[in-house]
């Protein structure tokens, strides 16, 4: 079955045809994902982005592709603004926490992958740190210098966008929109020829005089800019041209056009990447997530409130990755109830004998399988895929076959549907309140109220059994 993906380059849904379309052997798909800048905790917005990549990888694998997934870890050079302004995020984080930059990077890298594990995200095949690939980055900058796409100044080596006329066209943007308004209160490169030129190598002078992480280079002591690491490392592991590059929608304006410009200028090959996929933002209570608004939540925060991180994954899958998603604690509650309900049903099916299917029923099994695959292959339409799962569970397909179908679906959904809900652990606080309240009503002889509460609990996906009151 063909896979269709919305390519941000063309802004249309296209049939996925990888570069390597050799017949008769597994086709290896190269996939690169911009990873974390490891100076702070991963939040539930990151979770959404990386769950999208995980679904994409699982869909490709189910489509018989062999995926080589590479993800970077940004541990140097990412400034507070993506457009070369402000301090290095890592150095700032280290100062704030009274630790070394290396300690900060190690701590948050570990935290990031542990959080992603909780969301059942399959780890990338290659995890590469920017600081482990300084040589590759210097070599790439040198190549750009040799070809006349970069220039040296007293404060930095810059990419010269005027030498790459296609710059700015990527993702349907206008160059004019990209020119940053140079404010007097921000520190930016004074020797930039064009405000949209971007740093490839920062020198350890001026505002970066005391930068802790620094290396020797042909242009003096310093450190690489953020954008160059993704070009250097993706090409190192996947070649000059590869199939898929993913990231958050915040990368469309600066980071990804810069990656394209650097890579294509260096290799002379077009396109650098065939398909670009971008995940939309996660909002919290209708607002952009930020620490100052106190609506910044991590996967651990979700767990501390008694939720299963996979309920969060279910919540993500309920929206298409290109649509904005608004997180609320109520919506997470609803997601958890739905997931528990599904798992409860499936655990009852597990040991059911497989019925010998009638022609009509086997047709139904095939229909559900096809509908599910059609949904996920159609630009990762997970809301539709979940709807197929629910419809299948409600259908008259024999329960043993429902179990098998659900397990097949779960290879892509990644919700661990075969897990039997651990009753106590999976009862969320607000359900427990209802259970306690019902118990109280029963003791007081208010059986009508108690029954109403039982119905409410049942709707949320839980069954309560009565103990004797004596
Ligand atoms: Zn990147």
Predicted local distance difference test score (pLDDT) of residue 470: 38
The C-alpha atoms of residue 363 and residue 379 are separated, in whole angstroms, by 25
Tell me the CA–centroid distance for residue 127 and ligand 1, in Å.
13
- DSSP conformational letter for 277: E
User: In 3D, which of 260, 244, 275, 82 has the Cα closest to residue 169?
Assistant: 260
Tell me the CA–centroid distance for residue 49 and ligand 1, in Å.
13
Q: Which residue has tokens 């920017």?
A: 130
Tell me the CA–centroid distance for residue 283 and ligand 1, in Å.
22
Tell me the CA–centroid distance for residue 397 and ligand 1, in Å.
46
Tell me the CA–centroid distance for residue 333 and ligand 1, in Å.
33
Q: Is the dihedral of CA 202, 223, 276, 25 positive or negative?
A: positive
Q: Which residue has tokens 């003791």?
A: 443
Tell me the CA–centroid distance for residue 186 and ligand 1, in Å.
24
The C-alpha atoms of residue 52 and residue 49 are separated, in whole angstroms, by 5
Predicted local distance difference test score (pLDDT) of residue 425: 45
Predicted local distance difference test score (pLDDT) of residue 356: 67
401 contacts 357 by C-beta, under 8 angstroms:
yes
Mapping DSSP to helix (H, G, I), strand (E, B) and coil, where does residue 102 land?
Answer: helix
Tell me the CA–centroid distance for residue 388 and ligand 1, in Å.
35
Tell me the CA–centroid distance for residue 220 and ligand 1, in Å.
24
Tell me the CA–centroid distance for residue 255 and ligand 1, in Å.
7
- Does an H or E element contain 62, and which? helix 44-62
Strands ordered across the beta sheet of 156-159: 150-152, 156-159, 198-203, 222-224
- Predicted TM-score of the model (pTM): 0.86
pLDDT of 35-59, one tens digit each?
Answer: 999 988 999 999 999 999 999 999 9
> What contacts 85, CB < 8 A, 6 or more positions away?
79, 180, 186, 187, 188
Tell me the CA–centroid distance for residue 340 and ligand 1, in Å.
36
Tell me the CA–centroid distance for residue 228 and ligand 1, in Å.
8
Tell me the CA–centroid distance for residue 290 and ligand 1, in Å.
21
The C-alpha atoms of residue 39 and residue 90 are separated, in whole angstroms, by 5
Residues with pLDDT less than 50, the chain: 180-187, 423-425, 468-470
The C-alpha atoms of residue 376 and residue 438 are separated, in whole angstroms, by 41
Predicted local distance difference test score (pLDDT) of residue 424: 40
Tell me the CA–centroid distance for residue 225 and ligand 1, in Å.
11
């Amino acid at each position: 079955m063909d896979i269709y993906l919305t390519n941000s380059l063309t802004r249309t849904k296209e049939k996925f045809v990888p570069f390597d379309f050799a017949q008769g052997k597994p086709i290896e798909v190269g996939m690169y994902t911009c990873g974390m800048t490891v100076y702070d905790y991963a939040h539930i917005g990151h979770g959404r982005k990386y769950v999208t990549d995980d679904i994409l990888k699982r869909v490709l694998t189910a489509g018989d592709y062999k995926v080589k997934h590479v993800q970077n870890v940004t541990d140097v050079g990412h400034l507070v603004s993506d457009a070369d302004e402000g301090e290095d995020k890592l150095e700032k984080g280290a100062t704030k926490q009274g630790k070394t930059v290396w300690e900060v990077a190690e701590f948050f890298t570990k935290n990031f992958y542990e959080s992603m594990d909780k969301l059942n995200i399959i780890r990338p095949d290659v995890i590469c740190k920017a600081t482990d690939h300084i040589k590759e980055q210097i070599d790439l900058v040198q190549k750009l210098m040799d070809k006349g796409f970069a220039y040296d100044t007293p404060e930095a080596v810059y990419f010269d966008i005027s030498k790459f006329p296609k710059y700015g066209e990527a993702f349907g943007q206008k160059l004019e929109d990209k020119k940053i308004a140079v404010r007097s209160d921000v520190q930016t490169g004074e020797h930039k020829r064009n405000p949209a030129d971007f740093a490839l190598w920062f020198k350890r002078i001026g505002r970066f005089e005391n930068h802790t992480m620094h290396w020797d280079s042909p242009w003096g002591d310093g450190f690489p800019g953020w954008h160059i690491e993704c070009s250097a490392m993706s090409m190192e592991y996947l070649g000059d041209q590869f199939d898929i590059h993913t990231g958050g929608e915040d990368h469309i304006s600066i980071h990804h056009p810069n990656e394209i410009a650097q890579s294509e200028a260096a290799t002379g090959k077009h396109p650098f990447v065939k398909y670009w996929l971008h995940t939309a933002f996660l909002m919290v209570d209708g607002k952009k997530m930020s620490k100052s608004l106190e609506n910044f939540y991590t996967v651990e925060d979700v767990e501390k409130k008694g939720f299963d991180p996979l309920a969060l994954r279910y919540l993500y899958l309920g929206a298409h990755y290109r649509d904005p998603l608004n997180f609320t604690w109520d919506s997470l509650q609803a997601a958890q109830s739905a997931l528990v309900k599904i798992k409860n049903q499936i655990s009852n099916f597990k040991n059911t004998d497989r019925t010998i299917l009638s022609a009509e029923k086997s047709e139904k099994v095939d229909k559900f399988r096809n509908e599910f695959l059609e949904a996920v292959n159609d630009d990762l339409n997970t809301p539709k895929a979940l709807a197929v799962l629910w419809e299948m569970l409600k259908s008259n397909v024999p329960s043993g076959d429902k179990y098998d179908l659900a397990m097949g679906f779960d290879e892509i959904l990644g919700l661990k549907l075969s897990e039997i809900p651990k009753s106590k652990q999976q009862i969320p606080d607000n359900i427990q309140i209802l259970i306690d309240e019902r118990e109280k009503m029963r003791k007081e002889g208010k059986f009508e109220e108690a029954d109403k509460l039982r119905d409410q609990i049942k709707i949320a996906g839980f069954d309560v059994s009565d103990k004797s009151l004596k």
